[in-house]
Every structure is written in structure tokens, then in C-alpha cells.
Amino acid sequence: MSLNDDHPVARWHRILRERDLADLHTLLHEQAVFHSPVVHTPQVGRTLVVAYLTAAATVIANPTFRYVREIVGSHDALLEFVTELDGVEVNGIDLIRWDDAGRIVDFKVMVRPLKAMQAVQRCMAEALQRMAAGGKG
């Protein structure tokens, strides 16, 4: 399936490829929800979702990151990815839903196996702490 440049999935790919995290703010609905594979409660609101996705872009979307399968519907997509963290192979999915205006309203990440989820939890916690201290992730 060929997506036009304004499609939410195409914009997400561009954000990751170009590391243009400024566009992330405009891609997300103000009440967007992020579901982390390691945090029990959903993170609600654009500010929190931007923080989590920014950290993920620096940790998970490292040079080994690649999408290996995509299923795209009219308002949602499932993007399967693989990457490596600290020598651990990570396999996961991004489950994304957007509204009629093309703004992401829900972003869920699932990761396997357990060893990979533990690596993601550790690396993401470190990145979020650096960001909170004024670093870039």
C-alpha cells in the first residue's frame, strides 16, 4: 500500500527517519493516549505521549531498528519492528489509531520476549530520567 506524505503512518516514518521530533507534536491529538509495554497505566495527553515517544525514538529506534511488517487500515495500523538493545533482540509492535483529521489518538507498544521487555524498561527509564534532567534522551 502506498501512503501519501500526509498519512499518519507516513508522517510517523518520516519523524523516525529524520529524527524530526518537532512534527510529533502536530501529529498527536491533544488527548492522545500512550500504552507502554512496561507501565501499567495509560499515559494521557500530548505532553506525556510526546515524552514517551521521544524517549522511544532515541532508545528503541536506534540504528538497528527496522519495521518488518505493516498492516494499515483506514484509521489504524499495526507496525511490527525489530531492534537490538544491549545485545538483546527486541521484537515488538506499534498499534496506532488516528482520527479523521489524521492525528494519532492512541499509540500502543507491545514487546517480546521477556528479556527484551526488561531491556526496554531499563533503557526507557534511563532515557526519561535524562530528559527530565534536561538532556535529550
E strand residue ranges, 50-131: 66-72, 76-85, 88-98, 104-112
How far apart are the C-alpha atoms of 95 and 136, rounded to whole Å? 25
Tell me what pLDDT residue 1 has.
Answer: 59
Q: What is the mean pLDDT of residues 98-127?
A: 91
How far apart are the C-alpha atoms of 87 and 21, rounded to whole Å? 26
Q: Where in the chain are the domains?
A: 8-132
Fold of 8-132: Nuclear Transport Factor 2; Chain: A, (3.10.450)
From first CA to last CA, the distance across the chain in angstroms is 33
pTM, whole model, 2 decimals?
0.89
How far apart are the C-alpha atoms of 110 and 117, rounded to whole Å? 9
Q: What's the pLDDT tens digit per position in 37-86? A: 888 899 999 999 998 898 888 888 889 999 999 999 999 999 999 999 98
